[in-house]
């Protein structure tokens, strides 16, 4: 299929493979013919590049989680180490003029989303201050520092995705 040739060329010559701790991530791929292939692991970014250049998948996904054995099919045996904290902000759900005006997310809508996040952060800070005052704790309120490689365990069992 000609589209696969274009994808292969893109992966070989233009794609940026910038994944932190690639050796701890699970990768999944959607083939052009359909179906997902999950539980793939790579030791290096170059190994990942060679794989996608050869297979030319339609979509590439990597886990937010870090695993001891990311290529293991059994989720319990992967050895979960933690996960990145990811916020998925859907601009079309923000009740602002810029976000309601079209189907595509505009730069103005993204700015509105940024402002929403900043306002939420201020509200959390104000809540922490009020709680500290109510408890008689002196000093400036502090939000907890994010801990590296911590997260919520995914409780669902994945479906089998097949292989190449």
- 142 versus 1: which is more confidently predicted? 1
Q: Check pLDDT > 70 for residue 3.
A: yes
Cβ within 8 Å of residue 98, ≥6 positions away: 106, 108, 109, 111, 112
pLDDT class of 163 with cuts at 50, 70, 90: low
Please report the pLDDT score of residue 86 as a whole number.
Answer: 81
Q: Residue 3 in 3-state DSSP?
A: helix
| Half-sphere exposure for 28 (CA within 13 Å, toward CB) | 17
Q: Average model confidence (pLDDT) for the chain?
A: 79
C-alpha 118/C-alpha 137 separation (Å) is 25
* Phi, then psi, of 142 in degrees rounded to 5: -125, 135
Alpha-carbon distance 104 to 131, whole Å?
40
Instruction: Retrieve residue 72's tokens.
Output: 């293991």
| Interval 46-97: pLDDT, tens | 999 999 999 999 999 999 999 999 999 999 999 999 999 887 666 566 777 7
Q: Give me the pLDDT at residue 120, please.
A: 77
- Is the pLDDT higher at 162 or at 40? 40
């Amino acid at each position: 299929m000609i589209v696969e040739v274009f994808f292969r060329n893109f992966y070989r010559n233009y794609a940026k493979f910038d994944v932190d701790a690639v050796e701890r991530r699970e990768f999944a791929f959607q083939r052009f013919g359909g179906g997902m292939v999950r539980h793939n692991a790579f030791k290096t970014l170059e190994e990942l590049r060679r794989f996608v250049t050869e297979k030319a998948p339609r979509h590439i996904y990597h886990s937010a989680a870090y695993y001891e054995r990311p290529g293991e099919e059994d989720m319990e045996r992967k050895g979960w180490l933690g996960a990145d904290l990811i916020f998925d902000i859907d601009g079309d759900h923000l009740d602002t003029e810029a976000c309601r005006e079209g189907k595509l997310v505009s730069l103005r809508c993204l700015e509105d989303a940024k402002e929403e996040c900043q306002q939420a952060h201020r509200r959390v800070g104000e809540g922490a201050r009020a709680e500290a005052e109510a408890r008689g704790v002196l000093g400036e309120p502090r939000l907890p520092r994010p801990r590296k490689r911590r997260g919520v365990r995914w409780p669902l069992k994945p479906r089998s995705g097949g292989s190449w």
